[in-house]
Structure 1
Amino acid sequence: MKITVIIAVLAMLTVPIAANAQDSGAQEVIVTAQRSRQDDYSASMPAVGLRRRADYAVQEVTITGDSREAAARQDEIYGMLANAIAAAPRAGVTIASGDATLQAVTMANYRNLSLEKDNRPDSQKLTFLVKAPLSASAGAQAAEAKIAGFVKAVKPVGRALIATNDDLTFSVVGPDQYRTAIADIIAADAKILAAKFGDGYGVEVEGLNRPVEWARSGLSDVLLYIPYKLVVVPKH
């Protein structure tokens, strides 16, 4: 009697903006909990992948300004951002921008960030990200406290104000560098599953050519995985 057991592990989380599958090995990507990377993938999470601590905690920060004169208001907002950039190295944090992949914000490019309308006709705001590194000894709470302390210490300019927004999210640098480690974990799991059905069965694995994908797994941990299909089949 022929028995075929199919275990399909399909993916979630969106392709990073401005980054394709081939270059994610060099990108720093934001890890969120509620994105589907490909529209045709299942929303179910994979059972097998590499779980590790994220590289950075990331906090959204906004500078607002309400000086009546537009030119003065804009100069105050950008001036406070410049103060944040200058103070960041001393505080052990990094200034960045981006929705899905991150780019450093520096004194050379900070005025490329766009101002947006705030809640009044004569007010504007500018939003960016502050990153704090995570380690075995510095988890999410320590990173959040570091970012909060940094934001409070940024020197104000005119009527500009700075504040954090929303909850922490996290980022991973170069997900594709973990491809081999993930493949090792998939191979070990496949071997165990095949053994459950006896010596007469083996496995077929498809999809390992897909890019590495990512999802939150705990407070500050991430799951890195390859969306693959594993089939246990009789040996011929």
Structure 2
Amino acid sequence: MKFIGYGILAACAFMSGIGSTAAAQEYRQQSVVVTGARISTPGVYLKRQGDFLIIDVIVASDSRDYALRRTEIETTVDALLAQANDYDDISISIDVNGLIYPLESTEELPLSSGSRPDTSVANLVLRTPIPQDISNIQPLVQRLEQFASLVEGEGRATVDTRGGPTVSVVDPDQYRGEVIDLILEEVEDVTSTLGNNYRVILSGIDGRMQWQNTDNVNVIFYIPYNYTVIPTSLTTVLPDY
């Protein structure tokens, strides 16, 4: 919020985050880690529980021949997919630029080069629904890690989990209306408090929805907006550059 006039100036800016919107898509929420500092949150946001807890799984092979590496990786991933059929609460997906897509077969399974020569890897995502009002996610994490450990790699293929858990959310844009309502409520409160001598100029509310994982369970949704409070007697406001 910014006050213009009568010598009173204040500014309000909101952090930017990751993501774009696309209905019915599932977006992965990446935690933001800031060493030695607290992560600030937007002034107005909507907090909701994530839909799925997810962990990364890497299936890798270092056999000398590429065709053999691919066969070993595909056979191992096929075993993971077959095992997932026995679980109602665990599924296997792939992460493509932050979007989570279910993996149904190894046909055209994307492989990438490993950190060592003559190594190929398949990057998978294991996910499980997050129960409502959960207080401890460790049992969910352990269940996903145990699932990955039950499959033995074919030939020289290995199956390993990587990093810590995070969350994903389905169709984050469904919360846009609620976020806008919260913004308008804040603007209305400010206007009411200041009285008839001031008015509000709101901008940025047409921007894209953004979101951030807060604790591997909950996600905050927000729009990076700002508003300017000016005296009603002021008829011209120059934009900031």
TM over 0.5: yes
Q: For the residues of structure 2 that align with 1:219 and 1:157, how far apart are their CA atoms?
A: 32
User: Greater CA deviation, 135-144 or 185-194?
Assistant: 135-144
Distance 2:137 2:183 in 1: 29
Question: For the structure 1 residues 134 and 196, does the alpha-carbon distance in structure 2 shift closer, same or farther, using more than 3 Å as the test?
Answer: same
- Tell me: CA distance 1:89–1:51, structure 2 relative to 1, closer, same or farther (3 Å): farther
Query: Among residues 92, 100, 103, which one is paired with 1:102 in the alignment?
Result: 100
Count of matched residue pairs: 221
C-alpha distance in structure 2 between counterparts of 1:159 and 1:80, whole Å: 10
1:205 equivalent in alignment to 2:209: no
* Equivalent in the alignment of 1:8: 12
User: Are the structure 2 counterparts of residues 201 and 218 from structure 1 closer, same or farther at C-alpha, using a change threshold of 3 Å?
Assistant: farther
Aligned residue for 1:85?
Answer: 81
Q: Is the 8 A contact 1:9 1:44 kept in 2?
A: no
**Higher fraction of helix:** 1
* SS, match of residue 175 in structure 2: helix
Match among 116, 137, 140 for residue 140 of structure 1: 137
Measured in 2, the distance between the counterparts of 1:193 and 1:28 equals 35
Matches within 5 A, 1:11-160: 11-15=15-19, 21=20, 23-34=21-32, 45-91=41-87, 92-97=89-94, 98-107=96-105, 110-119=107-116, 121-138=117-134, 140-160=137-157
- Aligned equivalents of 1:160 and 1:208: distance in 2? 50
Query: 1:163 maps to which residue?
Result: 160
Deviation at 1:25, TM superposition (A): 2.8
Once the two structures are TM-superposed, the CA of residue 118 in structure 1 deviates from its matched residue by: 4.4
Distance in 1, matches of 2:131 and 2:13, equals 30
- Residues 217-232 of structure 1: matches in 2 within 5 Å? 217-232=214-229
Could you tell which deviates more after superposition, 138-147 or 76-85? Answer: 138-147
Q: Distance in 1 between matches of 2:50 and 2:9?
A: 34
Conserved? CA contact 2:109–2:122, under 8 Å: no
Q: TM-score w.r.t. structure 2 length? A: 0.79
- CA deviation string 1:30-86 (max 9, x = no partner): 222349xxxxxxx96421111111112221111122345543332111111111122
User: Residue 182 of structure 2 corresponds to which residue in structure 1?
Assistant: 185
Look up the SS of the partner of 1:59 in the other structure. strand
Letter in 2 for 1:48: V
Equivalent position amino acid for 1:145 in 2: Q
* Offset at residue 155 of structure 1 (A): 4.7
**Are the counterparts in 2 of residues 195 and 201 from structure 1 also a CA contact under 8 Å?**
no
Over aligned residue pairs, what C-alpha RMSD do you find?
Answer: 2.7
Q: Give the Cα–Cα distance (whole angstroms) in 2 for the partners of residues 142 and 185 of structure 1.
A: 35
CA distance in 1, matches of 2:144, 2:30: 19
What is the TM-score of this pair, normalised by structure 1? 0.80
Q: CA deviation at 1:172?
A: 1.6
Q: Does structure 1 conserve the Cα–Cα contact (< 8 Å) formed by 2:56 and 2:163? A: yes
Distance in 1 (CA, whole Å) between partners of 2:208 and 2:28 is: 16
Larger radius of gyration: 2
SS in 2 for 1:224: strand
Structure 1 unpaired stretches of 5+: 16-20, 36-42
Which residue is 1:234 aligned to? 231
**Secondary structure class of the residue paired with 2:99:** coil
Q: 1:7 to 1:28 in 2, by over 3 A?
A: farther
